[in-house]
A = this chain, B = another copy of it.
Amino acid sequence: MRTCSVHFKPSAKNVEVEKGTSLMDAAQKAGVFLDAPCGGRGQCGKCRVKVIEGEHRYKPSRLIDRQEEESGIRLACLTTVEGDMTVELVQTVGVGDIIVEDITSDKTKKLRVEKAIQVLKDSGIKLQNSFRSIEIKIKEPTLDDNIPDFERIARELNPLMESKKPDCSVEVLRKMPRIIREAGFDVNLVLREDEKNYEILDIAANKEKKIYGLCVDIGTTTVAACLVDLYTGEIEASANSGNLQMQYGADVISRIIHSTKPGGLEKLRDAIVQGNVNKLIERMMEKKDCRREDIVSSVFAGNTTMTHLFLGVPAENIRLEPYIPAFRNSPVFRAKDIALDINPNAPVYILPNVASYVGGDITSGVLAAGFWNSDEITLFMDLGTNGELVLGNRDWMVTCACSAGPAFEGGDISCGMRAAPGAIDGVRIDEKTFIPNVNVIGNTKPSGICGSGIIDLIAGMFFSGIIDGKGKIKQFSKSCRIRFDNTAGCREYLLVPAKDTAHGRDIVINEIDIDNFLRAKGAVYSGIKTLLNGVGLGMNDIQKVIIAGGIGQNLDIENSVRIGLLPDIDRSRFEFIGNSSLTGAYLCLISDEARHKARQIADLMTYIELSADPAYMEEFVSACFLPHTDMNLFPSVRYVYK
């Protein structure tokens, strides 16, 4: 088989591939990141590249116009390599540009963490973990006192450990004799205790030494991590990035499909473990001058698919009826078992999943949100990729997953993008001129629109009368901003003209986009309604709404209620909680009892499979209107609506 050489600019990476390989596979093989929300099916148009030279074949796409086509623009997933090629990357947003919330970046965020800690304390949960670093002076051996090194250390620890038995890995045993003697019998030990045993996780020459833990939120789109001092609980460093699995698809379904291809599961695992987590660890270690061996514990929170892929466990049954994950409570593995670059014997704790589409990130988020210790009936919403809901209080919880897809992260929208520099995250439309006023993230020209911007835009179009309750652009709307879109075959609204954008193409929203978004928000609202119906409650019984997920911070509550995404209740009941999945993982890292509590929370939740609920489809259809077919549910909107 002939191989062809593909050169990628500007990263200057080269790869040899077989003739006939898709450019997308070539990029993945070369380690060149290409965002591909639709998973390489030619549907989203996001994997644009520019062919500079070289023989290739491609399928034309309606997402690329003639002029672009002539200039060499192709969709990487629809292009095959037929000879040596040079290809230029033209995606304006790289994996490192995605904005990920840092739970320690400002005072508000720090307060949230403190508040979560306070709830633990109030409920009597001890903020203790089973790790400690101790200094011991070992009695030097003599002919008369000749017990071996391992037992000698155990003898010194006896007063502390009582009848607990010592344990250690073969790696620690291998370095023990030399380190003890090099250190002149004055050593530092890192210990982990359980009820009956204790384990020596590391041994080193004695010096003041911190021990660290790692907590990570593995989101479908973003990965966020913190390095934590296990003694003080201080967050010492944090780092985050886009989930590199994005090159295999934006949502969990695309990823699962990719995982069933030959070698696919390993590629996905490699992307998250090596590409994301180990890199984040490296970055955080550099900041703190900490050794790998000093990171002795780890906690991970992610949705069910993410935790499966992270461990390399087949996830395909999550997608196939009757939707069965491989596990709910993962056994506790060691870092070395899954190639994590921390102390090889550090335990790896994974927040328990609830069901196939309600994962450990939700368990973690609920732990952080604290309403498990409250009487108030609370609605917890995670608006990330998909959308998960939990309703309840200290006594009961029901939960469901809404098929919202990645709409809140700009997915399924032609000009949608994730929150990153160049994303329009806020829009106001002049009700007379229909001219929009946009807010762009970063000091740059816009290249697309993200979730919070789409909500504002749709709310603005609706209240200025551009679209009707079904999301259709009204015939009588007369404005240069309204036009008929040639490629999608429907009307569109021009948000930013080509001359003002980063990539020189118009930023628009068309009726298909709006329809996709209405289905997403309808899925969320009907999910809330179904949960409430299930427990015999109404919207006004919700005493608190806690909104988690990256979208939260920039979300306009008023607009979200007006379009019928959020329930029309007293606005003071809404609260943003940020990346609660990471906060919950942090709590489980610093406190063993918090980890047990998380497990109790997961057990407490009753999962409602919406697709199995006969009344759900009717609720969904009613919720795909602006704001809803039943206007009684939206009294304040009725009042505003002209």
- The residues of A with any CB-CB pair to B shorter than 8 Å are 141-152, 166-170, 173-174, 176-178, 181, 311-314, 316-317, 321-333, 337-338, 353, 355-356, 609, 612
Contacts and interface: CB of A to CB of B under 8 A. Distances in A.
Contacts of A332: 167
Contacts of A324: 141, 146-149, 152, 177
Nearest to A353: B148
Contact of A326 (B150, B166, B169, B353): B150
Contact of A146 (B145, B323, B338): B323
Contact of A151 (B181, B323, B328): B328
A384 to B, nearest CB: 22
Task: Kindly list the 3 A-B residue pairs having the minimum CB-CB distance in the complex, ordered from nearest.
Answer: A150-B327, A148-B325, A143-B322
A542 B141 CA distance: 34
Given A170-B337, A312-B170, A146 B326 contact: no
B151 A329 contact: yes
B173 A609 contact: no
Contacts of A168: 331
Contacts of A176: 313, 326
A338 B144 CA distance: 33
Contacts of A338: 170
A331 to B, nearest CB: 5
Contact of A333 (B170, B330, B331, B333): B170
Contacts of A146: 322-324, 355-356, 609
Nearest to A334: B170
A311 B177 CA distance: 13
A316 B176 CA distance: 12
B322 A149 contact: no
A176 to B, nearest CB: 6
Contacts of A313: 170, 173-174, 176-177
A604 to B, nearest CB: 15
A176 B321 CA distance: 18
Given A173-B311, A337-B169, A148 B321 contact: no
A325 B148 CA distance: 5
Nearest to A181: B317
B143 A174 contact: no
Contacts of A141: 322, 324
B325 A143 contact: no
A329 to B, nearest CB: 7
Contact of A325 (B149, B169, B322, B330): B149
A43 B68 CA distance: 82
Contacts of A609: 143, 146
A274 to B, nearest CB: 16
28 contacts: A142-B322, A143-B322, A143-B609, A143-B612, A144-B612, A146-B322, A146-B324, A147-B324, A148-B326, A148-B353, A149-B325, A150-B326, A150-B328, A151-B328, A151-B329, A152-B324, A167-B331, A168-B331, A170-B311, A173-B311, A173-B313, A173-B327, A173-B330, A174-B313, A176-B326, A177-B314, A177-B317, A178-B314
A609 B147 CA distance: 13
A355 B151 CA distance: 12
A580 to B, nearest CB: 24
Contacts of A152: 324
A227 to B, nearest CB: 24
A330 B154 CA distance: 12
